[in-house]
Amino acid sequence: MDRRHAIYDWFRVNRFKVDLTATSLLILLFGPVYLLAGHPWLALLSCSLLLPLAWRRTRPATAAVVVILVCLVQWAVGAEPVAGQIAVPLVIYATAAYGPAWASRTVLLAGMVGGIMLTTREFSSTAESGIMGLTIGALYTVLIWMLVLVSWTLGDLTRVRRLQLQALEDRTRRLEVEQQQERQLAAADERSHIAREMHDIVAHSLSVIITQADGARYAAAAKPELATEALATIAATGRDSLGEMRRLLGVLRSDDDSPTRPQPRLSDLDELLLGFRAATLQVSFDQSGVPRRALPAGAELTAYRIIQEALTNVMKHAGPKATAGVTLTWQARGLQLDILDDGRGAAADPPTAGGGNGLRGMGERVSLYDGSLTAGPEQGGGFRVSAFIPYSEA
């Protein structure tokens, strides 16, 4: 099958070579016959009709014009039909199949007119006349027209099929390009998702570790037991962060045996808040309202990560002895999140290079679920992060 396809592709690509070879064979077949019979003029006429067939697919309009001109010369000098006349239906077919639309219509009209001219000249020069002569002339004209119509119809059908195949090939190429673009977009989206996950995990864990390490350093001399508790919190946080990182790297490896576990949801908020409280951040939690229906798992993960990132920012930027409050309000349209602290606000810390990834990640997560996010300092101090996540995923 592959060999046949290769041969077909070669014939399709090398059209001129194939047509030139076929034309040469026809000339060798029909040309010498007239030379041997002592009619060099007819041999030249036959070869002149056959030669343009070498360009019947590469330059069909030009080949048709040459054949028409040779036929007109033949008609004008009164030469008899020759074997090379087979070029007429062949060039009509080729022009209808491979030429422009105007050339296709022109050769059809020329073939019809040529049939009338041929039969008119032939029967006007014979002795036959009257009804019998008209009948025979009309019959010959109809036969020529049928040959012209069949040749043109076959060529037009070939054109339609060729255009359909070309349209299918173009569509296949577009689909391949679109699939490649979709794969690239999906890969970029997945990389962005993994980057957000890694940022949330690393930023939260390192903030807790840094805070506990500072506390342990100050408490080591006065209260060694507090330093021991801080070191235990650092170790637990580090182990949790390492486990999360291994899970993400396992997904990146795409191994079927990579260990995975469910993504955190709103039911895991108590454990998250305990971790922050263990890191000496005073956090209050309040929940009101009743959910009309459960949020999608991805939306709950988004809410969880927003709270985690907002509290991590409190630890990093709000200053010592800052407190924070987390409020979940279930409304008719979705979930409202509010994280408010009484710290120094965003203006206290100068911006750093590459900063703002946390807030940008929050906005990207919320936008996936047609939600909204606002974040900014409060009047009189403090910082508020508010997010709304609707029930619908659309």
The whole-model pTM stands at 0.48
pLDDT for res 347: 43
Q: At 331, phi and psi to the nearest 5?
A: -110, 180
The Cα 152–Cα 324 span in angstroms is 85
The answer as to whether 39 is a domain residue is: yes
* Position 109 pLDDT exceeds 60: yes
Whether 227 is in a domain gets the answer: no
Give, in order, the Cα–Cα distances in Å from 83 to each of 26, 27, 44, 89, 225: 10, 10, 11, 12, 114
Q: What is the mean pLDDT of residues 177-181?
A: 81
pLDDT at residue 146 is higher than 90? yes
Helices and strands in the chain, H and E counts: 11, 5
Is the pLDDT reported for residue 261 higher than 60?
A: no
Which position has the higher pLDDT, 276 or 105?
Answer: 105
Answer with the one of 93, 125, 157 that is the final residue of a domain: 125
Place of tokens 């120094």: 344
Higher pLDDT pick, 55 / 6: 55
In a domain, 392, yes or no: yes
* Residue 148 domain flag: no
Domain for residue 115, yes or no? Answer: yes
Q: What element of type H or E holds 155?
A: helix 130-222
Instruction: Give 98 or 232, the one with higher predicted confidence.
Output: 98
Residue 213 within any structural domain of the chain: no
Angle at 382 between CA 381 and CA 384, to 5 degrees: 135
Domain that holds residue 369: 268-394
Q: Cα separation of 341 and 325, whole Å?
A: 6
Q: Is residue 301 one of the residues assigned to a domain?
A: yes
Strand stretches in the chain, DSSP E: 282-288, 323-330, 334-341, 372-377, 383-390
Of 41-55, 161-175, 235-249, 371-385, minimum mean pLDDT range: 235-249
Q: How far apart are CA 318 and CA 344, in angstroms?
A: 5
Count of domains for the chain: 2
Q: For residues 115 and 142, give the distance between their C-alpha atoms in angstroms, rounded to a whole number.
A: 8
d(C-alpha 314, C-alpha 337), whole Å = 16
Q: How far, CA to CA in Å, does 357 sit from each of 45, 72, 264, 339, 362? A: 83, 81, 21, 18, 9
Q: How confident is the model at residue 338 (pLDDT cuts 50, 70, 90)?
A: very high
Name the amino acid, one letter, at 252.
L
Query: 208-260, pLDDT tens digit by residue?
Result: 676 666 666 666 666 666 666 767 777 776 766 666 666 666 555 554 444 44
**Which one of 125, 143, 174 terminates a domain?**
125
Q: What is the pLDDT confidence band of residue 351, given thresholds at 50, 70 and 90? A: very low
pLDDT score at 16? 85
Q: Looking at the chain, how many residues does it have?
A: 394
Say how many C-beta atoms besides its own lie within 10 A of residue 54's C-beta. 21
End-to-end CA distance of the chain: 48
pLDDT, one tens digit per residue, over 307-319 is: 988 888 888 888 7
For residue 355, the domain's CATH number is 3.30.565.10
Q: Is residue 174 part of a domain?
A: no
Residue 355 has pLDDT above 50, yes or no: no
Closest among 287, 306, 303, 305 to 295, alpha carbons compared: 303
30 neighbors 68 (Cβ within 8 angstroms): no
pLDDT score, position 250: 59
Domain boundary among 125, 148, 169: 125
User: pLDDT value at position 394?
Assistant: 40
